[in-house]
Amino acid sequence: MTKPRIGIIISTTREGRFGDKPARWIHDIGARRSDLDFEIIDLRDYPLPFFDEVRSPAYGPSERPDVKRWQAKLASLDGFVFVTAEYNRSMPAVLKNALDYAYAEWNRKPAAFVGYGPLGAARAVEHLRNSAVELQMAPTRTGVHITMEPFLAVAKGQKSLVDYDYLNQGAQATLDELAWWAKALKAAREAAVQKAAA
């Protein structure tokens, strides 16, 4: 079995966003591992219109080239780290829209979370977990929550996320759990494909 490929999804697209910083930080931590391969997936690179498909992706493929490109990228991955802000006590709309534009491509893959902002985006992550379950992902228990003190210090350039030992430890624990699920679910998906082909 090849190493699972993990997409680190930057879940905001606005100018001046903070999300690039934790995405690069978690990517740098992940890059030192030998059991997973990581790639940053920026929603800016996958602009999607407000969801307007004739049917849910659960019931049939899209005919739109931009949607097919997004779905193909998701299909190539074995798990996800969602790096998310909290907008009005929930996830950013652009992320929810991106979630809604796929279905099978999310199925039976693990999802981990890095939240930042008020309460470390705990409320956004909680909503995101519920959406992940509906999309048949396996959300991990462990996550990283970057609360206001480190958020503001990093945003102002006074510190870096690597300066916070407890965040680094949380990131390692999160990726350890993600690795277990990514390998287990990848093996299970591959076994299912082999059984169907037999």
Q: Say what the pTM is.
A: 0.97
- pLDDT tens by residue, 81-112: 999 999 999 999 999 999 999 999 999 999 99
Predicted local distance difference test score (pLDDT) of residue 61: 83
Distance, CA of 1 to CA of 186 (rounded, Å): 8
Percent of the chain past pLDDT 70, that is, above it, reads: 100
Q: Computed from CA positions of residues 53, 57, 59, 65, in that sequence, does the dihedral angle turn out positive or negative?
A: positive
What is d(CA 198, CA 194) in angstroms, rounded to the nearest whole number?
6
CB–CB of 121/139 below 8 Å?
no
Predicted confidence (pLDDT) per residue in 11-24, tens digit: 999 999 999 999 99
d(CA 61, CA 143): 32
**pLDDT of residue 139 exceeding 90:** yes
Q: Range of 66's domain?
A: 5-197
Can you tell me the distance from the alpha carbon of 40 to that of 46, in angstroms, rounded to the nearest whole number? 12
Give the residue from 19, 36, 38, 17 showing the smallest Cα distance to 28.
Answer: 38
Q: For the chain, what is the domain count?
A: 1
What's the pLDDT tens digit per position in 53-89? Answer: 999 999 988 999 999 999 999 999 999 999 999 999 9
